[in-house]
Amino acid sequence: MIYQKYQMMSDLSDPVRQFAEHAQVITKVWFEKQGFTPLQRMAAYYEQISLMGLTHTRPDFAIAPIQSKEGGLIAIEESHVYATPFCQLVRFKREDAVHLPKVLLVAPMSGHFATLLRGTVQTMVRDHDVYLTDWLNIRDIPMSEGEFGLDEYTEHIIWFMQHLGPSTHLMGVCQPTVACLAATAVMSEDRQDCVPASLTLMAGPIDTRINPTQVNELAVSKPYEWFEANLIGMVPMHFKGVGRRVYPGFMQLMAFLNMNLDRHRQSFATLYEHRVNGEDEKADAIKEFYKEYFAIMDLSGPFYLETIKNVFQQHLLPKGELTYRGRKVDLRAIRKTFLLTVEGERDDICGIGQTLAAQDLCALLPGFKKTHHLQAGVGHYGVFNGKRWDRQIYPVVRNTIQSSRA
């Protein structure tokens, strides 16, 4: 009943937050030129209330134009090029793009939408034709479309690679690194022409036995049955996916918030102070982050439970025991794909060495096709977003893709 109780509380609190949002706008507009501190504080207070709520709607990607070598601006065209009941494949293409390398960027199917990788896309579109997996909220997908587990996740990657064709590059961020590696092995063993030219694995749980983090320890601290009994809810009646077993997005978000609760409290306090002091640009940056962070989606229950069991508890991939559609996944079949693994020095979700493990698991891949990059000074999010991603990690990714095309 936990999902039903959450939805009831959400429905009751929505009008309060909407009132606060409108009141904040009205207060700011009516009294913007007055400069009265009490009114500024009231507006900032209303903003806090309006922001403290969860939404289940994907924000816009809003990829900004990029600058050309001549100094002008080049627009980024966004389009949907392929769809299944569970995912839309979104293309981001430079308006002037000609023969740029195609990259399939696989977003995590987590409690957040694919817009979490907005910064990754914004950087990648400079030199690539980018395709992104925009996973749909499972609570909006009817049961008639079937269940969605780890096999279906891996299958989607294979379908998308087949759609994009030969010489496409594959890039997985965090959770999907396991499925990306498995899909590459399956395509390689089947000698498909859509085998990735390069595979970039970023901060992913390939082998969580190495330097386990708090997240990893939580996954093994309870038996599988505990996760199934305590974290899986049922989609309520008034959604298309009624009856689906899901790991509710609000539960995953609460878990992440509790890991760094003091930091989030300080962020809200800083937002308030910036707004009161008239530092709107700094305040807007914090607000936009939390609007994104509080836009949540549910996970398929079978997918979540299989990930807990196969990836975090039984470590099937590094032990050579993971299967796809009943067949064993053989990472030794990967012999042509260039491999790049990327980790963050301060990653508290995927410890150092967990992603690097893919290098040894691809035992028959020639050494000159393997590259590893450990980025100093970044946590998990910084591996694929922010200044160090843009200035230090991305050049390594770009060079790997270029090398595989030579």
**pLDDT per residue over 117-159, tens digit each?**
999 999 999 999 999 999 999 999 999 999 999 999 999 999 9
**pLDDT per residue over 174-189, tens digit each?**
999 999 999 999 999 9
Nearest to 317 by CA among 176, 111, 169: 176
Residue 331 reports pLDDT greater than 60:
yes
CA gap 62, 292 in Å, rounded: 12
CA gap 345, 356 in Å, rounded: 12
Q: What is the pLDDT of residue 44?
A: 62
Q: What is the pLDDT of residue 392?
A: 98
**pLDDT per residue over 236-247, tens digit each?**
888 999 999 999
- Percent of the chain residues topping a pLDDT of 90: 67
Question: If DSSP codes are grouped into helix, strand and coil, which group holds residue 277?
Answer: coil
**pLDDT per residue over 4-59, tens digit each?**
555 555 554 455 445 444 444 444 544 454 454 555 565 664 555 555 667 788 88
CA gap 392, 395 in Å, rounded: 6
Mean pLDDT over 351-356 rounds to: 98
Q: What is the pLDDT of residue 177?
A: 98
Q: What is the pLDDT of residue 10?
A: 54
pLDDT band at 316; cut points 50, 70, 90: very high
Mean pLDDT over 350-358 rounds to: 98
Whether the Cβ atoms of residue 247 and residue 231 lie closer than 8 Å to each other: yes
Angle between helices 280-293 and 261-276 (to 10 degrees): 140
State the DSSP string of 160-182.
Answer: HHHHH-TT-EEEEESTTHHHHHH
Domains in the chain (CATH in brackets) are 2-53+249-293 (no CATH), 66-219+299-405 (3.40.50.1820)
State the DSSP string of 258-271.
Answer: HHTHHHHHHHHHHH
Residue 248 reports pLDDT greater than 70:
yes
Nearest to 352 by CA among 374, 381, 327, 333: 374
Question: If DSSP codes are grouped into helix, strand and coil, which group holds residue 124?
Answer: helix
Question: If DSSP codes are grouped into helix, strand and coil, which group holds residue 194?
Answer: coil
CA gap 67, 89 in Å, rounded: 25
Residue 202 reports pLDDT greater than 90:
yes
Residue 70 reports pLDDT greater than 70:
yes
Count Cβ atoms below 10 Å from residue 179 Cβ, excluding itself: 27
Strand ranges inside 353-392, DSSP E: 370-375
Mean pLDDT over 218-230 rounds to: 94
- Range with the poorest average pLDDT among 216-230, 277-291, 362-376: 277-291
Mean pLDDT over 77-96 rounds to: 96
pLDDT band at 307; cut points 50, 70, 90: very high
Nearest to 306 by CA among 224, 250, 244, 241: 224
Residue 191 reports pLDDT greater than 90:
yes
**pLDDT per residue over 261-292, tens digit each?**
788 778 878 877 887 787 888 888 887 777 78
CA gap 106, 335 in Å, rounded: 22
Q: What is the pLDDT of residue 61?
A: 94
Residue 326 reports pLDDT greater than 80:
yes
Task: Please tell me which residue, 56 or 314, carries the higher pLDDT value.
Answer: 314
Residue 85 reports pLDDT greater than 60:
yes
Mean pLDDT over 197-208 rounds to: 98
CA gap 218, 208 in Å, rounded: 12
